[in-house]
Chains A and B, each alone.
Chain A
């Protein structure tokens, strides 16, 4: 199979990716999908900043602005940040724990395609009557009030992508628990694996409330139920609770894998084991646990009462403790180390002060009475961009450079990488630091314009200039990626030279079966141990023999496509129905919608049935093939 490096037709490559169940290829799919949506979300961000550059601007209309902010938030959170992190989880975690694939390779592919079709569905709203415009939080009263199908695209699109994310969560929890190599105990797992495990658990428990909330919204808007219709006994605060019971853990789903990536980077480029490994693990678990107890801090001004506000305020402050532990552990990791300023390390170093600033404003937001002032102002916008850009996006960019050789067997250009970093870093602080003050000066968030004479003009212009710098940085990164692919200069095993964990012990390109023999793990930083004690050779835990691998399948693609079709069917089925809310019932009736709905469900359920009915027993990789591959590697090493 992969050993034959013949030139293949474009169609066979595409077909390979459409049907693959290999976690490494799925990682590349996630990287491309997430990267595409990241550019889209970035474009929307630029539109926002252009509109707000000067007072009373009419670059975007009020309605269009609301669509752009809604799609910017939704795209960045659900379609860019999370998939990009999942890309790295897929690329790295199975290699890090010594597995040949994830626990459910089929489900892994399905998760990707469901996410992808959901994202496409959501974004097609731009061309089909207008994007959602009720904010990424889509609070119920406004979401019910919103005209057209925009919010329906939001609800159905997120429902679809959410299902894909849930599958990924289940997959990684199982993979990390059952698929670890011999000797890879829980307390020997690299931190990237630990944070992935905790984030995956959070996904499993946080997404169902969102699923329910979205169903309530879909039923109310499109099928005549009364969950949020106050006159019929409904209650809109239910949405807020569910959204944030999901939404707060979601923030940790975004930040924990980022912590994992940075922990790896500090260790590699300071040539030092992670300081306080066990307290890092403990802090990760604690943050995940607290993540579910603090959702109401997004609702201090909703009027939940003094007791609820006080409890959730103090609980929120408590999260500072495990987070602080992590920050100090990272500093102590580089303390006394030997730091090499590579591009990933620059992002990691920049992350510490940037994220600390985002963290402390988080504590400020937890001081409830002061939050009455901060809430829904640019202070909050500044805060969450400091943690999400300064944490998650920095980690994604760092991870991209760090894991690029592992995924593509080439290296991104370091010079361009550093240009990207410095521009992005400067632009980021320029954009968001000043927004703290805008908020304190009384500028609410989500305003499509502001009046002259309120003292907001200069700060907004500064912010826009910063955004331009970030855009330029992104373009340089894109150029870097294209040039790296074009040049295609292959690198060998352990390209950074200081890899410590198992994934760096593998030959590049990584064989499709990952490990010819599953290695024996003798401690934390498994590869580093063997570098010191065994000349960099992992000790195999099993004799060379046949092993089992899963078959490729086209069913995940078809099943996801079915959901995509179902989404359209459900959406247009509601048009013009008298039971739907006014905004939807006013629209023209589409007679074909019911058939589309049925067809979509049929595609999904029949392909599910086919999957269940057929025996898919996989295939065996033969000992002879492994021996051939190992001999070839040996020869290559001899040649060098």
Chain B
């Protein structure tokens, strides 16, 4: 039967299970190409932000140095960087055909990602209380669009990885599921890298 060919015996588990089938190989390459497009997407968002940074209609609007708290942004960065590391552990165990440990590290990744998202939501609501809303100025629109798009990507990633954990819980590891886990991990690294740029360009350069 067709499905049988995806289930590789344990002693034949390949070094790169995600690329063991043609479908898997396609998926990895295609996803890299997709991330290439995503890079341009975020580059456009950064360009918009830089063009409109601190561009407000009148003096009574809050600017970058009034708003940003590096402490909070740093904690958020730590959450996301650590979650990137834990997703590496998950992929490591996937390659070693250790399903249980892979699942555990994926769960840790989701929890850390959720922590990041919670902090971001807290930060946004704090900004909104200060009067810095999506509609208050061009600067604010650009800020929320850039960070919001990133935050949306994080949320999508969380749902995606959670669904993977649940769907694979009964299926276990095969070269079919391994390809799925690996693309999710790639995606997670990508949004992590984007955050590093947000932290440096938006937060650090914003307060200096």
- A residues contacting B by CB (< 8 A) are 103-104, 107, 166, 169-171, 173-175, 177-179, 204-205, 207-209, 211-213, 215-216, 219, 223-227, 229, 231-235, 238, 241-242, 245, 548, 579, 609, 612-613, 615, 617-620
Residue of A nearest to B61 (CB): A233
Which segment, of B35-43, B101-109, B110-118, B191-199, faces chain A? B35-43
CB distance from B206 to the nearest CB of A (A): 16
Instruction: Tell me whether B70 is interfacial, beta carbon within 8 Å.
Output: no
Report, nearest first, the 9 A-B pairs whose CB atoms are least far apart. A233-B138, A233-B55, A225-B141, A208-B41, A103-B26, A212-B44, A234-B138, A174-B30, A208-B40
**Cβ-defined partner of B30 (8 Å) among A103, A213, A233:** A103
Q: Are B176 and A233 in contact (CB under 8 A)?
A: no
CA distance A166 to B38 in the complex (A): 11
- For chain B, residues 40 to 59, give those with C-beta under 8 angstroms from any C-beta of chain A: 40-41, 43-45, 47-48, 51-52, 55-57
Q: Are A208 and B134 in contact (CB under 8 A)?
A: no
Chain A residue contacts of B164, Cβ below 8 A:
612
Q: Are B51 and A238 in contact (CB under 8 A)?
A: yes
Q: Are B40 and A209 in contact (CB under 8 A)?
A: yes
Instruction: Tell me whether B137 is interfacial, beta carbon within 8 Å.
Output: yes
If A174-B26, A226-B135 touch, does A205 touch B44 (CB 8 Å cutoff)?
no
CB distance from A612 to the nearest CB of B (A): 6
CB distance from A23 to the nearest CB of B (A): 14
**Cβ-defined partner of A617 (8 Å) among B2, B52, B141:** B2
Q: Are A212 and B41 in contact (CB under 8 A)?
A: yes
* Chain B interface bracket (under 10, 10 to 19, 20 to 34, 35 or more): 35 or more
Chain B residue contacts of A238, Cβ below 8 A:
47-48, 51-52
Q: Are A617 and B176 in contact (CB under 8 A)?
A: yes
**Cβ-defined partner of B38 (8 Å) among A174, A175, A179, A208:** A208
CA distance A461 to B138 in the complex (A): 47
CB distance from B103 to the nearest CB of A (A): 16
CA distance A216 to B163 in the complex (A): 31
CA distance A196 to B164 in the complex (A): 34
**Cβ-defined partner of A232 (8 Å) among B6, B41, B137, B176:** B137
Chain A residue contacts of B41, Cβ below 8 A:
208-209, 211-212
Q: Are B48 and A212 in contact (CB under 8 A)?
A: yes
Q: Are A227 and B138 in contact (CB under 8 A)?
A: yes
Q: Are B171 and A615 in contact (CB under 8 A)?
A: yes
Chain B residue contacts of A177, Cβ below 8 A:
29
Instruction: Tell me whether B208 is interfacial, beta carbon within 8 Å.
Output: no
CB distance from A594 to the nearest CB of B (A): 18
CB distance from B54 to the nearest CB of A (A): 8
If A212-B48, A216-B48 touch, does A205 touch B135 (CB 8 Å cutoff)?
no
Instruction: Tell me whether B16 is interfacial, beta carbon within 8 Å.
Output: no
CB distance from A182 to the nearest CB of B (A): 13
Residue of A nearest to B166 (CB): A613
Q: Are B57 and A233 in contact (CB under 8 A)?
A: yes
CB distance from A613 to the nearest CB of B (A): 5
**Cβ-defined partner of B44 (8 Å) among A204, A208, A226:** A208
Chain B residue contacts of A579, Cβ below 8 A:
135
Chain B residue contacts of A178, Cβ below 8 A:
22, 25-26, 29
Instruction: Tell me whether B145 is interfacial, beta carbon within 8 Å.
Output: yes
Other A-B contacts than A174-B29, A208-B38, A241-B47, 8 sampled, CB-CB below 8 A, are A103-B30, A169-B37, A174-B30, A175-B26, A208-B37, A227-B145, A231-B57, A615-B3
CA distance A207 to B40 in the complex (A): 9
Chain B residue contacts of A219, Cβ below 8 A:
141, 145
Q: Are B145 and A225 in contact (CB under 8 A)?
A: yes
Instruction: Tell me whether B142 is interfacial, beta carbon within 8 Å.
Output: yes
Could you name 13 residue pairs across A and B whose Cβ atoms are closer than 8 Å? Answer: A169-B33, A174-B30, A208-B40, A216-B48, A225-B135, A226-B141, A227-B52, A232-B138, A235-B51, A238-B51, A241-B47, A617-B176, A619-B2
Q: Are B3 and A205 in contact (CB under 8 A)?
A: no
Residue of B nearest to A172 (CB): B33
Instruction: Tell me whether B65 is interfacial, beta carbon within 8 Å.
Output: no
Q: Are A173 and B33 in contact (CB under 8 A)?
A: yes
CA distance A344 to B66 in the complex (A): 66
- For chain B, residues 167 to 206, give those with C-beta under 8 angstroms from any C-beta of chain A: 167, 171, 176, 180
**Cβ-defined partner of A620 (8 Å) among B2, B25, B55, B140:** B2
Q: Are A204 and B48 in contact (CB under 8 A)?
A: no
Instruction: Tell me whether B79 is interfacial, beta carbon within 8 Å.
Output: no
Chain A residue contacts of B34, Cβ below 8 A:
170, 204
CB distance from B181 to the nearest CB of A (A): 12
CA distance A224 to B135 in the complex (A): 6
Residue of B nearest to A234 (CB): B138
Chain B residue contacts of A169, Cβ below 8 A:
33, 37
Q: Are A229 and B37 in contact (CB under 8 A)?
A: no
Q: Are A205 and B36 in contact (CB under 8 A)?
A: yes
CA distance A618 to B51 in the complex (A): 48
Chain B residue contacts of A612, Cβ below 8 A:
160, 163-164, 167, 180
Residue of B nearest to A226 (CB): B138
Chain A residue contacts of B5, Cβ below 8 A:
548
Q: Are A204 and B33 in contact (CB under 8 A)?
A: yes
CA distance A211 to B41 in the complex (A): 8
Chain B residue contacts of A227, Cβ below 8 A:
48, 52, 138, 141-142, 145
CA distance A234 to B29 in the complex (A): 38
CB distance from A221 to the nearest CB of B (A): 13
**Cβ-defined partner of A233 (8 Å) among B25, B37, B52, B145:** B52
Chain B residue contacts of A619, Cβ below 8 A:
2
Most B Cβ at <10 Å: residue of A204, A205, A211, A226: A226
**Cβ-defined partner of B137 (8 Å) among A104, A213, A226:** A226
Q: Are A232 and B57 in contact (CB under 8 A)?
A: yes
Q: Are B55 and A235 in contact (CB under 8 A)?
A: yes
CA distance A235 to B55 in the complex (A): 9
Chain B residue contacts of A225, Cβ below 8 A:
134-135, 141, 145
Q: Are B22 and A233 in contact (CB under 8 A)?
A: no
CA distance A620 to B3 in the complex (A): 10
Chain A residue contacts of B25, Cβ below 8 A:
178
Chain A residue contacts of B30, Cβ below 8 A:
103-104, 107, 170-171, 173-174
CA distance A238 to B141 in the complex (A): 14
Q: Are A613 and B163 in contact (CB under 8 A)?
A: yes
CB distance from A178 to the nearest CB of B (A): 5
- For chain B, residues 128 to 177, give those with C-beta under 8 angstroms from any C-beta of chain A: 134-142, 145, 160, 163-164, 167, 171, 176
Residue of B nearest to A212 (CB): B44
Residue of B nearest to A609 (CB): B163
CA distance A216 to B57 in the complex (A): 18
Chain A residue contacts of B2, Cβ below 8 A:
548, 617-620
CB distance from A184 to the nearest CB of B (A): 15
Write the B114-126 contact mask toward A (1 if CB under 8 angstroms, else 0). Answer: 0000000000000
